[in-house]
Amino acid sequence: MTAEPATPDAEGRRARRQGLSVALATSAYGVSFGALAVAAGLDVWQTCVMSLVMFTGGSQFAFVGVIAAGGLPAAPAAIASASLLGVRNIAYGMRMSPVIGTGFWRRAAAAQFTIDESTAVALAQTTRRARIHGFWVTGIAIYVGWNISTLAGALLGDVLGDPRAYGLDAAAAAAFLALLWPRLKHRQPIAVGIAAAVVATMLTPVLMPGIPVIVAAIVAVVVGWFNWLGEADAAPDEPDDSPERVGLP
């Protein structure tokens, strides 16, 4: 017997659940950033402002890591590292633009929440409405949770000790893997993922933060563009973005 297709309401609820689950795992990792930033020499208010304004975990950790290693004279290198890691958000913005839609204020608000997690949850959905729900719920929930946990980590850093010992980074990685796994149905996505992971792993020990991510992204684009190992695969499902399908004006 053929299963009934999921209703728009059910798809929206699933997207919101996924967004909140990813937000919970990712927000917890903000404790590590708060503690490490204060240990690197930043004040509590400086740490919190960075999370409020920058709000991109990879760039924040890169900045703090370089400052911790080189002190204030290393600030230019820290800014460069953080900026290189932030470049990936431009690609996310281009991919999410059709989902977010038009309107200056809508796009301006979306820019603050366009991060790895919100993009991943949105693109894991099968309809535009579900993608919109996934994007906004994930982005806003992580923003709130990340800033609360950053403050907690900054205030309790000495009590917590080394926050990396709690494995909070593994929780965030597990959430990403849960989103990625259902999409690995064909040889082509698997090839793209493996190629990018191998390149990033090889380059991370020898290049400054940010560059391995950019190179891995370029490799993924090249592998996907030439469709290596994907000739016999069916085209991946894309959501129907027509206004009639998603109920938008």
CB 92 within 8 A of CB 115: yes
- For residue 9, count CB atoms less than 10 angstroms from its CB and return exposed for 0-12, middle for 13-18, buried for 19 or more: exposed
Blockwise average pLDDT, block size 10, the chain, 249 residues: 60 89 85 84 89 85 76 72 75 86 88 89 88 93 94 79 57 56 67 78 74 74 65 48 44
d(CA 62, CA 147): 17
The 3-state DSSP composition of the chain as helix, strand, coil percent (nearest 5) reads 75, 0, 25
pLDDT score for 233: 46
pLDDT at 248: 44
C-alpha to C-alpha distances, 35 to 31, 147, 150, nearest whole angstrom: 6, 13, 8
